[in-house]
Amino acid sequence: MSIAQRERAALVTTMRGVGPDQPTLCGKWTTRELAAHLVVRERRLDAGPGILIPAFADYTERVTQQVAAEHDWNVLLDKIASGPPLLSPFKLLDAVANVAPFWADVWERGANWILQAGQYEYTPDHRPFIGPTPIDGLWLNGGWSGHGVMGSGGGSRLLIDAITGRPTGPDWGLRTDGPEGNPFRLDRPFSTESHDVL
């Protein structure tokens, strides 16, 4: 079971326990409205754009209220528990789309998305982490020691290579399938190195 599936199951268990009319931390939504939002997001592609695009928000809100009013509470929860339907884009993205729902709430509250400052993360060897973690479905591309803007493009290619198991880089370049394995894996041996890019 992926982390997204565990989170989905925990959410449904919690919602079943508290009932449909409890307040949530998602604005003025009740648990019924939150459940309807999740069903609409995953099953009503016509209403999805209004979640992020203000010009379509009224339509999305009407559809969400209609779904909340027309579906029995347990039917809503069963739809959430079963996950996105086969033809929903969320079926492919479920492992990552629901891991950090906090950001959707931040977006919907109209947060200013201009980046003012970022976290400066680094590793003892000043090399990034690129690859899987012990948590099923969670992959990393970080720890760039201040070179994330410059390295993230190539790092993203390496991450995709690691996820798919199909290296695309040149034989002479950085690869996740080298003779020593992935040089950016989480469990690699560390030695303190001077600060370089790679």
The per-residue DSSP string of 135-156 comes to: STT-EEEE--TT-HHHHHHHHH
Instruction: Output the CA torsion 100→106→107→109 (10° steps).
Output: 150
The tens digit of pLDDT for each residue in 9-52 reads 888 999 999 999 998 877 788 999 999 998 998 899 899 888 87
CA distance 79 to 37: 12
pTM of this prediction?
0.51
* Exposed/middle/buried for residue 33 (C-beta within 10 Å: 0-12, 13-18, 19+): buried
Sole residue written with tokens 């996820």? 163
Question: What is the full per-residue pLDDT of the chain (198 aa) written as tens digits?
Answer: 666 677 788 889 999 999 999 988 777 889 999 999 989 988 998 998 888 788 998 999 999 999 999 999 999 999 999 888 887 777 766 655 555 555 555 555 555 544 444 556 677 787 888 888 888 788 888 887 777 777 777 888 888 888 888 877 777 666 777 667 788 888 888 776 665 555
Which helix (H) or strand (E) covers residue 132, if one does?
A: strand 129-132
The pLDDT, as a whole number, for residue 50 is 85
